[in-house]
Amino acid sequence: RSLRVLDGAVAVFDGKEGVEAQSETVWRQANKYKVPRLAFINKMDKIGANFKKAVDSMVRRLNANPIPVQLPWGQETELQGTIDLIEMRAVTFEGDKGVNRVHHEIPTDLKDEAEMGRFEMIEKLADIDEQIGELFLEEKSDQVTNEMIRRALREGTLNFKCIPVFCGSALRDKGVQEVLDGVVWYLPSPTDIPPVDAFDPKEEEAEPRKLPASPEGPLAVLAFKTATEEHGDLTYVRIYSGILKAGSGVYNPRTKKKERINRLLRMHSIKRENIDEAGAGDIVGVLGLNHTVTGDTLCDGDDLLVLGAISFPETVIAMSIEPKTNADREKLANALRKMAKDDPTFRVMLDPETQQTIIAGMGELHLDIIR
């Protein structure tokens, strides 16, 4: 669901396991919604971590074109930091939560590997950027500037021609800042994304309207997640056009009902900040929507439109679930109903033969989280 409303994403892979089954599922969804992405090879401090094998698994299992922009400086328990193949320097992360980046000369024993890594990066970018391609063919790779590399990486990322690859250990606060820099350098802003299609709910055969990400446009909001809370539903929405204001009224074309935006929240993980308004490109939380579910469009009642629906894949794994005691049976049923309402990819069924409660989801990880 989140991929439907994202302009860019960071795909995180285990440094030891590389691409896993759940990774493939999410990757296919990202391809479906045409989400540009970076990759972060995490857990490079884990026993058995291997950066090259993890990158190779992206080629083998995802048919991707990964371009490492870093190498790990050490790995497993010896992980010290990263080697920046663009700036050609080593980086360590010091202080509280690794906020202080310290730059070093590349260690002598890693210089050859770093130079080869930069050469291979430029070689791949030669197929993406014409200027780099000409210099590479003329054997003038040393004249390729860092600005050329970043420009080519951004172009390749936005056009789905490559995946810049970073590495580190999130748990040990190594490499995370570099990934965030990569988000700024290579992933798109809302204004870089092509206009979205908006349809007239009264004219099914009409050509769609093209809505650019502009605060001046008609209000177009997509609800992509709901969370049941003690005092009502919290609805997560993406604003594609116009401005959404706290206290304002919106119209739901599916239910043909008006609803009120009681509170507008900027979400910071579990922290919430009340805001007065949000504009095109923003993702916010809304309190007060009693009849809106995942996939609904909210608009101005005077300018009706519907955004493309969110499609949900069929579940791929199922298992039975039982309460610890019969006294907990009703509590379990209520909890499962709430989860199914909040997560359309989660199903709850009753086996007519065994009378067991069956839950189904998108993978083992999905059901483990629910359990």
Cα 285 from Cα 172, distance rounded (Å): 31
Q: Which residues pair with 358 in a beta bridge?
A: 320, 349
- Residues paired with residue 249 on neighbouring β-strands, in sequence order: 260
At residue 188, the pLDDT reads 96
CA distances from 65 to 8, 165, 214, 359 (A): 17, 10, 33, 36
* Average pLDDT value for the chain: 91
Distance, in Å, from the CA atom of 233 to the CA atom of 263, rounded to the nearest integer, reads 12
Backbone angles phi, psi at 112, to 5 degrees: -60, -45
Q: Does pLDDT of 311 surpass 70?
A: no
> Which residues are CB-contacts of 196 (< 8 A; sequence separation ≥ 6)?
210, 211, 220, 240, 241, 307, 308
Yes or no: say if 167 and 75 are a contact pair by the CB < 8 Å rule: no
Closest CA to 257 of 286, 232, 289: 289
Q: What percentage of residues in the chain have a pLDDT greater than 90? A: 67
CA–CA gap between residue 208 and residue 291 (Å, rounded): 26
Report the alpha-carbon distance of residue 108 to residue 332 in Å, rounded: 60
Tell which wins on pLDDT, 353 or 61: 61
pTM across the whole model: 0.81
* Residue pLDDT, tens place only, 181-219: 999 999 999 989 899 999 988 887 778 899 999 999 999
- Report the 10 Å Cβ neighbour count for 270: 5
